[in-house]
Structures are given as structure tokens and as C-alpha cells.
Structure 1
Amino acid sequence: MTAAVQVFHEQGVEKTTLGDIARTAEVPLGNVYYYFKTKDLLVEAAVDAHGSQLHTLTAHLDELPDPAARLRALVAGWVDQRDTAARFGCPFGTLATELDKRDGGPDQATAKVMRALIDWTESQFTQLGRPDAHDLAIELVAAYQGMSVLTHTLRDPDLMARQGRRLQDWIDTLA
């Protein structure tokens, strides 16, 4: 599954074959087919893996002492991935965008994962006492997706670092 998530991110779903995933995972192709009869089943599992990664991340962030610190740590984690974003874009955002273009694709599953990020972010702003928590959550997630697209398009990891600092400063003004 880790190999599938990586290869889908680096190559895109349409360009990826099950053979590519088997090579990256260093397993025989038959092993991939044993667990995933079609690429679509593997794509669905990759979306689920992103959801699991988000759940693990937010559970870890929830251990931090206050919501502003959690939000700043979320942004810091995004910035830490700036070199990857410059090369391939946002791991989940690019997958969601690509899958949304497919007929019968798992767009509802990707929307569920994106909503989970927005809901968690909204809960942090709510804990900060913000009556506009939902709008702020949308703004933060949209800012990340935007800076990720620009970082990738311009191949400029420093852009993400600068925008990340801006977002962290913005969070401080809201706390």
C-alpha cells in the first residue's frame, strides 16, 4: 500500500501500472494481483491509506497542549514536505484532483478524507473560541492546497516555506 501511495503521487494514477507498484514494493507482480484484482481496487485502498495517515497525524497533533500549537504544527508538517511538494505536488490533493476527473471514480471517498481534514481543523478553531471556525478551516486548507500547487508549478520549495510562515503568523493572530 505504501508503494502504491508513493507511485500514484509520483506518476499519477493513469500512468501507473500494477507492475510499477510491484517494482517499488519489491514484490512479485502476482502478489499485487493477489490482494488487488484491479487498479481501481488499489486506488480505493490508497485513498483509504491517506485517510488513515490523516487520522494518525491528527491523533498525534491532538497530544499538543493547545489548538493554536496543533494548527501551527500542522502547517509545519506541510512545510517540512516542501521538497516533495515542489517535485510532485500535494500527495492527497493531486490524487483527489486526478480521481475527480475519472468517470465513476472514488471522488466521494476523496471528499470524505478532505472533509476529515477540514473538520479537524474546524474543531481547532472552535477550541480557540472562533465563531467563524468553519470558514477559517476552509481558508487554512485552501491556503495549503494553493501554496502546494504554486510550489509544484514553480518548482520552488522556498515559496511553501514563506507561505507556511505567513500561515503560522496568521494562526497566532487568531489565537
Structure 2
Amino acid sequence: MTNSSDATAQAGKRERLAAAAARVFHEQGVEKTTIADIARSAEVPVGNVYYYFKTKDQLVEAAISAQRRGLRDLIARLEQHEAPQDRLKALVRTWVDQRDVAAQFGCPTGTLAAELGKRADGLDREAAAALRELIDWVERQFAGMRSGDADELAVALIAAYQGISLLTNTFHEPELMVAEGRRLERWIDSLVS
């Protein structure tokens, strides 16, 4: 029989491994990452990883889930802004604040989705679902601004971010993200005028 503190410790270690997997996959890519890399990042013995995750693909799935939890946490913080326009601009500022990470490794969700998109094993759809969740939230914000083409605007905003993340990473120039952030905020403002 497992007591509640053991169950809590196991859940904590599992979450720590999932977060480490998300971080290491972002920094190194799925194919280059070993289970030992993830264990080292999570500061657990390699053998412990196999207790929670039998395969690397299970770690990828856990990393996607960790990213989705992070996205939901971000959305909860953004929802504290009263107006949809302010929520979207806060989202853009969040991206700009992460410009140094983007310059070094790209967008965590976008790079994982791009890498997994080359596979057809279900993980590609899981990664796409994370991006879809963000697009759907952005679409609701544009709809709240009374934009009739909210679906197209949502895709345009996410595409602009993914594109600037790629360029910021390719050229290792965080200031590209800053300039695009300013442009996106002006664009959002122009839609309510």
C-alpha cells in the first residue's frame, strides 16, 4: 500500500521528468536527445526514468503535455486582462520577453511540432493539438473584438510569431522579435479602430 506522501513524491518526479524532457527536447531536438540527457537534466538516475516512462516516445508525449499545461497557465494569466485586445497584446509581450530563448532554440511548441510533424505516429497530432489550442484561444479573442474573420486573424498572428521565432533563431538576433512584437501590437490596435 502506498501512502499519500509516496504518491505525491512519485507524481512530483514524473512531472519533473516531463518538464526536463520538454526543456531538453526544445534545446536539442527529439532525435538527438537521449533518455540519459533527460535524467541528467531532471537530476534523477537513468534507471528511475524507466520506472515512469518505458519509451522515449512516452517522454515526448509527457513533454507535449507539459507544454500544454504551461500554455494553459499562460492563458489563465492572460485572461486576467479585461479586454481581448489587451490579452492579445500581453501574449505578444510574453513572446517578446522570451526572445533570448527564441534566439537560442526557437519556439518550444513550434520547434517540437515541426520536428514531430515529419512523423506519422500520433505524436505529430499531439503536438499539432497544442498549437491548435493556442490558435483557438487567439480566435476567441479576435471574435471578442468583433472581428468577423477571427479564424483567419488567429492563424495570421500565430504564423507571424512562428515565422519571427524561426528568423530570430536562424539569425540569433533577439531584436528581430522586439521589432515584430511592436508591429504586431500596432496591428492588433488597428483592428479595433
Which range, TM-score by smaller chain?
over 0.9
Cα RMSD after superposing both structures: 0.8
Asked if the contact 1:90/1:148 (under 8 Å) is kept, the reply is: yes
The aligned runs of 1:99-110 (5 Å cut-off) are 99-110=116-127
Runs of at least 4 residues off by over 4 Å: none
Asked if the contact 1:118/1:138 (under 8 Å) is kept, the reply is: yes
Match of 1:149 among 163, 166, 184: 166
The alignment-based identity, stated in percent, is: 59
Question: For structure 1, which runs of at least 5 residues remain unmatched after alignment?
Answer: none
Amino acid aligned to 1:140: L
Match of 1:43 among 60, 69, 73: 60
Specify the structure having the higher radius of gyration (Cα).
2
TM-score under structure 1 normalisation?
0.98
The aligned runs of 1:85-124 (5 Å cut-off) are 85-124=102-141
Measure the CA separation in 2 of the matches of 1:108 and 1:101.
Answer: 11
Shift, 1:105, TM fit: 4.5
Shift, 1:103, TM fit: 3.9
Greater RCO (Cα-Cα under 8 Å, separation 6 or more):
1
Q: How many residues align?
A: 175
Give the 3-state SS of the residue equivalent to 1:120 in structure 2. Answer: helix
Partner of 1:53: 70
Partner of 1:129: 146
Partner of 2:41: 24
Give the 3-state SS of the residue equivalent to 1:130 in structure 2. Answer: coil
Are residue 166 (structure 1) and residue 192 (structure 2) matched?
no
Measure the CA separation in 2 of the matches of 1:77 and 1:11.
Answer: 23
Asked if the contact 1:5/1:46 (under 8 Å) is kept, the reply is: yes
Measure the CA separation in 2 of the matches of 1:104 and 1:168.
Answer: 37
Measure the CA separation in 1 of the matches of 2:19 and 2:123.
Answer: 19
- Measured against aligned partners, the alpha-carbon deviations of 1:57-110 in whole angstroms (never above 9, x if no partner) come to 111111111101100000000000101100101111000010111241511111
Match of 1:138 among 147, 152, 155: 155
Measure the CA separation in 1 of the matches of 2:127 and 2:102.
Answer: 19
Asked if the contact 1:99/1:105 (under 8 Å) is kept, the reply is: no
Are residue 8 (structure 1) and residue 8 (structure 2) matched?
no
Measure the CA separation in 2 of the matches of 1:109 and 1:103.
Answer: 11
- Measured against aligned partners, the alpha-carbon deviations of 1:84-143 in whole angstroms (never above 9, x if no partner) come to 100101111000010111241511111111111110000000000110111100100000
